[in-house]
Amino acid sequence: MTDTETAAGSRSAHVEKTCLMRGFFVIWTGQAISVLGSALVQFAIIWYLTVQSRSAIVLTLATLVEMLPRTVLGPFVGVWIDRWNRRYVMQIADALTAAATIALAVLFHFGLVQIWHIYLLLFAAALGQTMHASAFTASTTLMVPANQLTRIGGLNQVLEGATRILAPPAGALLIETLPIQGILMIDVATAIFAVTSLLFVQVPQPERDTTGLKASVWHELKSSLQYVWTWRGLAIVTGISTMVNFMLVPAFSLLSLIVFEHFRGGALQLGWMEAAFGIGMLVGGALLGLWGGFEKRMNTVIVGTGLVGLMMVVIGSVPANGIVLATGAMLLAGVGLSLGNGVGQALLQVLIVADMQGRVFASLAALRSLMSPLGLALAGPFTDAFGMQAWMLCAGVGITVMVAAMRLIPEVADIERKEHR
């Protein structure tokens, strides 16, 4: 090959990478707008359930319904993501969520809504989110250079943080000024941006083994589970993540009730606490984008998740007049979660082969969520028996201890080294 041909090939590769990155940010921008709309709806619905029921069981059931698609259907969705065109999967997912939201808005408009209607919306929206998130995460690896994935992870955490900052106070304001069906239609309007962004971008597909396409869904699902199970470090991380979710998800699902019953606050106070958490996530994501985390990515995951556990201990310990301290703890918990999640996702994107990412990511999400329904089922009665803060305190202690133990396991601490894969 001549120098001219080599230079032409380099320019062509550079142009291709530039186009892929531009396409990624087009999709990311459309999704960012949609995420904000969905967050407004989620805040409004959770507050509606809180005020109407004043029941920890109703709130934990709502969170349980949201988790079922990811836990039960997620692995099957992941298999099809690795088979189907991922752009189409994301479009179908956004359309499904919008259709369910419109249906609930109509029920609210005519005064026919029941709690089980809300649960159906939460289920449909969660299924759409599961499909979109798995397809988008798997596509990111093919659109973004490997050395930029950690910074993209930081950018995603900035988005989540910004959403948490804007959505709660905006949601609280909208609750006072609009009927809930009006808030639901805001979500539909923002979903249009996500669907539209996908119309103008080509999403690359991984090279596939044609024999894999002939295999049954069950066979491919089994292969993804074997991939995780035979990689000891990844299996241990998945097991610990499952237990962290067992404790963390119920704790945050009860936050609105803690504000309402323990701190004697209202929608505004809940909004400020969630906004503080969002500010923390934004700060953590920005820090990650500039700094990139420790050289060993797993160290950043451990430090970040450990900080979340410690701050949960604080929230679970403060008295009824300590809402300011609890709000500060929420801010630091947001920083920790941003660092842990941002680097953790980038780590998996680097380590897992591209043509298996759809099913493996979905299977990992399902495995991490597997214990959460049990946690939710126990959290309601546990909180009713021992107080609003009891689960938050116990969960914080448990998470801190488990995450500290990860540093002592070589297959986990050094998961990036080839001999530990």
Asked if 245 and 366 count as a contact pair (C-beta separation under 8 A), the reply is no
| Average pLDDT over the chain, rounded to an integer | 81
How confident is the model over 71-109, as pLDDT tens digits? 777 777 777 777 777 888 888 888 888 888 888 889 888
What is the C-alpha separation between 161 and 139, in angstroms, rounded?
A: 23
Asked if 162 and 226 count as a contact pair (C-beta separation under 8 A), the reply is no
How confident is the model over 49-75, as pLDDT tens digits? 888 777 777 877 887 787 777 777 777
- Of residues 57 and 408, which shows the higher confidence score? 408
- Of residues 341 and 208, which shows the higher confidence score? 341
Read off the tokens for 16: 């291709």
What is the C-alpha separation between 154 and 135, in angstroms, rounded?
A: 19
**In sequence order, which residues have a C-beta less than 8 Å from that of residue 69 and are 6 or more positions away?**
77, 123, 126, 127, 129, 130
Secondary structure class of 127 (helix, strand, coil): helix
**In sequence order, which residues have a C-beta less than 8 Å from that of residue 13 and are 6 or more positions away?**
none
The predicted structure's pLDDT at residue 8? 45
Residue length of the chain: 421
Read off the tokens for 172: 């609280």
What is the C-alpha separation between 227 and 230, in angstroms, rounded?
A: 6
